Every structure is written in structure tokens, then in C-alpha cells.
Amino acid sequence: MAGTAGRRLALAVALVCALGAGALAVPAVAHADPGPPSPAASPQAPAAGSLEAVHKQVEDLYRKAESATDDYNAANEQQRLQEKAVADLTRRVNATQQRLDLLRGRTGALARAQYRSGALTPPTQLFFSDSPETFLNGVSLARKGEQATRDLLTQLASTRADLGRYAKAAEDRRKTLEGDRKKKEAAKKEIESRLEAAKKLESKLAEKERERLRQMEEDRARQAQQTWLSSAAGKGVMNLKGSAATGDGRRVVDFASAQIGKNYVWGAEGPDTYDCSGLTLKAWAAAGRAIPRTSQEQWRQLPKVDVKDMRPGDLVIYFGDASHVGVYAGDGMIVHAPRPGRQVTLAGAGSMPILGVVRPG
């Protein structure tokens, strides 16, 4: 009986344990159910804090993409310059080769003439001439002939040296060109990677969260603009409200304003799409002035003016790495191409961190 009682107790304990384990396993089975969740189980909208984090990540990705776009544009510009240099050097090589062939032909003709005359030099031939008068008259011609021969040989040597120099320069340019192409391709891959990551991040948001994200961006820009307008620089700019733009500046603003609504596309210079520096490049081209292609080079090369003294047509450079630029339109506003997924638009000049202002003309 004791043995039987022991077995019954063990069986009872095992049954209780099994029931307990089953009860604990029920929620796991429910979570693993592949069927669609009930409305009550739908994911909640991101809290303000999490949406703020998404906003920061998205902005960071787009900023890095824009910085890579500047690298892409710089490499693209260098590639164009190198291609032109290679083409110019190739033309020089071809022209020099033709001249070398011509000079070789002349020296060959001279050598054949000497061979036919018994390989005697002109002075030797004159020495053996029968007539003293012929000898005297021929001395001057012989000297001229010798000088012409020396000049021909000098030209031949110089042309050979030119050909070698041009050929080496062309080869060096081709190597540089290949390096620029690789830089351009690397920048392109980085841009595409950053943009893809930003799109994936945004795609995870429901439509109303995307709208909230856009509203958050607008609110931040508006707050930054108000802060800037209350600063000394902003007040200085607004105090110049009545100052008229120069003729060039007005043409720049008119061109940029006419592009409002056109899509941002990285590396684009119009006429249907633009990136930020592509817009400023073409705006100043419309005023008859060529400026550097990238916002970083625009900042580095163009004359700088104090922010409080900027006037319509000036270029406002943004962020510490000079990776964004817009056209100052007056009244504290800029026209700029913001980023992928946006269009050329009018925005507050102080809606982003200003690095400085440049004036091409």
C-alpha cells in the first residue's frame, strides 16, 4: 500500500506540473498565431519621444546623403575637367606626331640627297668645284643650308621631347580621371545607401505618423527661423529690408523663384530637377556668372559677406561642413532645394544653422 500510495502521489504531482506548464504555455501559443491581429492588438502610434528619435535618424541620414552628394558633384566636376584635359592633350599628341613625321621626312630627304652626292658635305663639294666664282657664290648658300639643317635637327629633337611630355601628361591625366571616377562611384553608392535607409525608416511609419513627422520638421524650421530673426544677425538683415537688390541679384532670385515646385534630385542641375548647389549654380549662370559647382567650393572660393549685410541674390551656406546652400530672396527668406522627396521651395533663411554668406558678384 505504501508503494501504491507513493505512486499515486508522484502521479498527482506530475499532473499538477503538467497543468501548470500548459497554463504558462498558452500565451506563447497565442503570440505565435500567424493570423491577423485583432484591432485591439494593432500597433500603437509612436509616442512623441520615439517619433522624435525617428526624426533625428531621418534628418541625419539625409544630411549624410547631402554631404555625399557634394562629394559626388565635386568628383563629377573633376571628371569633366580631366576628360577635357585628356582630350586637349590627345589633340596635342596627334598634332605633334604629325609634325614629327613631317620633320622625319625632311631629314630623310636630306640624308638621301647627301647619299646621292657621294656623302660629301656642301663645303667639300664647293672646294672641288671647277669655278672660283661658283665656289664664292656657293659659300653663302652652303652656310644657309647648314643652318637650315641644324634648325631642322633641333626642331626634330624638340618635337620628340614635346611628344614624350604630352604623352606622359595624357597618361597621368587618365590615371587621375580614373581616380575621380572611383570617387564619384563611391559617393554615389553612399548616397543611395543613405537614401534607401531613410526611405525604409519612413516607410515603417503609418500615414498619420509621416504627416506628424513632416509637421515636426516644419515646426522646428519655424522655431529656428523665429530664433534667428530675434538674433543680432537676423535683426540686421531685416533692417536692410528696404535695400534694393543689384541687377544681377534680382535676376538670380527671379530664376531661383521660377524653379519653385520642381523636385530635388541629387546631382541634378536642371532644367526640371535640382540639388541645392545645382540650383544656385544655374541661378547665377542666368545672371551671366559662372560659380563653382558644389556648396563647399562656393563657400571656399566666393567672396564672403557678413550675414547681417546679405542682400537678394547672395548665397547662404549651411551646416559646419558647408553641405547645403540656398539663394537669399530678401525679407529673411531663401529659395532652396531641400532634400530628396521635397521640392524647390521658399523657406526661412534661419531655418537651418547658417555657416556664412557669399556674394558671387
Per the residue annotation, which of 17, 31, 55, 324 is the catalytic one?
Answer: 324
Per the residue annotation, which of 17, 31, 55, 276 is the catalytic one?
Answer: 276
Measured CA to CA in angstroms, residue 113 lies from 120, 126, 142 at distances of: 10, 15, 14
8 A C-beta contact, residue 332 and residue 349 = yes
Paired strand residues for 330: 333
Joined grid coordinates for residue 185: 562611384
**276 given a catalytic annotation:** yes
**336 given a catalytic annotation:** yes
Paired strand residues for 317: 325, 356
How many Cα atoms within 13 Å fall on the side-chain side of residue 150? Answer: 6
**324 given a catalytic annotation:** yes
**What is the C-alpha to C-alpha distance for residues 161 and 37, in angstroms, rounded to an integer?**
81
CA dihedral 20, 23, 25, 30 (to 10 degrees): 180
Per the residue annotation, which of 17, 31, 55, 336 is the catalytic one?
Answer: 336
Which residue from 37, 159, 148 is spatially nearest to 96, judged by alpha carbons? 159
The residues annotated as belonging to the active site are: 276, 324, 336
